[in-house]
Structure 1
Amino acid sequence: MPIKIPDTLPARSVLDSENVFVMPQTRAANQDIRPLKILIFNLMPLKITTETHLLRVLSNTPLQVEVDLLMTSSHISKNTPLEHLTAFYHTFHEIKHQKYDGMIITGAPVEEMDFEEVNYWEEMKEIMEWSKTNVTCTFHICWGAQAGLYYHFGIPKHHLGKKMFGVFPHTVNCPQEPLVRGFDDLFFAPHSRYTGVKREEMLNKEGLIIVSESNEAGVYIAMSANRRQIFVTGHSEYDPNTLKEEYVRDVRKGLDIAIPANYFTNNDPSQPPMVTWRSHAHLLYSNWLNYYVYQATPFVLDEIS
């Protein structure tokens, strides 16, 4: 998929080096098609890294995608240069009059706080409510998934006691669902979180479907019955070294952190990671874009309701 992003976005040079087709704005302007408009609500502190992760997995279909980046106005990131935020990000006030084919809400390092304690929770609620009428399908990741399940379905999050950390095997509950079309019977995905949702609190929730889960990591993918809200509790978009970087960071902080499960060769942090989730990650995002965005969205964006 040609990803249409600003010519000077830092992710472009990284993706170019990997032979990912990134379309500069100047070339995109000459193509007589309507691109899919995707909004990335980036709540992660290292925003440039997360942009690259997500743009990489959005790059695997023949459709043109135009990406807007959204940040909170009630909380300003201290880990991303202000110049970058000013150049590439919008606030909700600036884009709320628009409609989008799809939106991604990322995770955030606030999972051990109650939702109502997060200083941008009211803004988050406003954006999630807006998404119900202004976005064809919203894809929630990790804490974003927990926040979405809580807001849309009243599903609480629970502390796990220790960090769910590593790459875990998953199975598919609904093989007929297009989101998991082409998935193997057993596939892997990374998780990195201290909280989770309980399967038993979701099973009988009207309008909510559990699509995939793991014996170790719990519910992985859920969705609303109308297919407009998708919740993914893990991080399939992660790069090969992301869990390693998190592990090294936590060790340096003196935290009591276990080695990420099923990740390092021979479970040895001095050895390189074993990458077992990349094909699943690309398939998950290409299925989302194809079946839940492209095939579901109206040609005229203003007709989304």
Structure 2
Amino acid sequence: MPIKIPDRLPAFDTLVQEGVRVMTETAAVRQDIRPLQIGLLNLMPNKIKTELQMARLVGATPLQVELSLVRIGGHKAKNTSEDHLLSFYETWEEVKDRKFDGFIITGAPIETLPFEEVTYWDEMQKILDWTQTNVHSTMNVCWGAMAAIYHFHGVPKYELKEKAFGVYRHRNLAPSSVYLNGFSDDFQVPVSRWTEVRRTDIEKVSELAILMESDEMGVCLVQEEAGKRLYMFNHVEYDSTSLADEYFRDVNAGVPIKMPHDYFPHNDPELTPQNRWRSHAHLLFGNWINEIYQTTPYELEKIGAVRV
């Protein structure tokens, strides 16, 4: 089954061109099945690009998925038009009475700020608490993962001396995990962050299990079974050119930045990067969607037992 998104969303045509099956809102109502309700809390500055990246992965499933775009109500976006936000997004206040089978919380370019100094931290805490009662399973990504694991378990983040930036080899630490079904023992994941969480802190929390790790970049993916949460600290959803876009943005702005590790062919930024993580990105999100489908209540209103 295809993903259901608003007919006029900019990502619609691109997804169709890429072969992702997309269903119009008009066609969806004719199918006598309940689509999975997936929410995307988009905290990234370039919201349109992030919508496409996440919709591409969520839509690559035989199940029908309805994607709802959500934003922080008390924060004004600087890089996305107000028309786009009003046309396609709802604030969390507007959706907080709904139930979701799955909910994705993205990264945000505020990594080095203490959580308590983030202008929307109070609302973020309310949203994280709300996921315990209104969401069956949550995928937290990059800063979103660091915020969630700090909120729920007090796991701190540490500022790095230089940006962790590039494509790095990772190890599959839990081949039997439902989320890593089909994963290689060794695979590559894009990394782009100024902070990290550490294995020693995660190991103090008995509810957490590390699923992916890099010898160079540390912990990548953590599972919390009781809370039905995944914490992805890197950017498996990135496009082929995402790291290049960040690199050239900083170069053109005169910001000191090292060339992304193992990314450009022959370390030549004039050459087009090859995507070596796409298949595992699809596997991870496909496995997550499948696990949601297998375990979520058929009746949405039954989602919501408080998890500790």
Q: TM-score normalized by structure 1?
A: 0.98
Aligned residues: 304
Which residue of structure 1 aligns with residue 93 of structure 2?
A: 93
Q: Which amino acid aligns with 2:209?
A: I
Which residue of structure 1 aligns with residue 245 of structure 2?
A: 245
Which residue of structure 2 aligns with residue 301 of structure 1?
A: 300
Q: TM-score normalized by structure 2?
A: 0.97
Alpha-carbon separation, structure 1, partners of 2:30 and 2:7: 15
Shift of 1:74: 1.1
Could you tell me the percent identity over the aligned residues? Answer: 47
Shift of 1:78: 1.1
Shift of 1:254: 1.1
Map 1:26-37; keep pairs closer than 5 Å: 26-37=26-37
Does 2:144 align with 1:134?
A: no
- SS across alignment from 1:295: helix
Shift of 1:204: 2.4
CA contact (8 A) 2:140 2:232 kept: yes
Alpha-carbon separation, structure 2, partners of 1:227 and 1:184: 26
State the Cα RMSD in Å: 0.8
CA contact (8 A) 2:247 2:257 kept: yes
Alpha-carbon separation, structure 1, partners of 2:70 and 2:5: 14
Note the residue ranges of structure 2 that are not aligned, 5 or more in a row: none
Q: Which amino acid aligns with 1:270?
A: E
CA contact (8 A) 2:132 2:227 kept: no
Does 2:215 align with 1:221?
A: no
Alpha-carbon separation, structure 2, partners of 1:5 and 1:61: 14
Which residue of structure 1 aligns with residue 187 of structure 2?
A: 187
- SS across alignment from 1:33: coil
Which residue of structure 2 aligns with residue 53 of structure 1?
A: 53
Alpha-carbon separation, structure 2, partners of 1:294 and 1:77: 33
For residues 47-106 of structure 1, the C-alpha deviation after alignment (integer angstroms, 9 at most, x for no partner) is: 000000000111221100001111011111010010000011011111111100000000
Map 1:1-305; keep pairs closer than 5 Å: 1-226=1-226, 228-291=228-291, 293-305=292-304
- SS across alignment from 2:295: coil
- SS across alignment from 1:150: helix
For residues 30-58 of structure 1, the C-alpha deviation after alignment (integer angstroms, 9 at most, x for no partner) is: 11100000000000010000000000111
Q: Which amino acid aligns with 1:300?
A: E
Alpha-carbon separation, structure 2, partners of 1:233 and 1:14: 27
Alpha-carbon separation, structure 2, partners of 1:223 and 1:130: 19
Alpha-carbon separation, structure 1, partners of 2:82 and 2:258: 34
Alpha-carbon separation, structure 1, partners of 2:75 and 2:60: 33
Runs of 4+ in 1 over 2 A off after TM superposition: none
Alpha-carbon separation, structure 1, partners of 2:99 and 2:20: 27
Q: Which amino acid aligns with 2:141?
A: I
For residues 232-254 of structure 1, the C-alpha deviation after alignment (integer angstroms, 9 at most, x for no partner) is: 00111111011100000011111
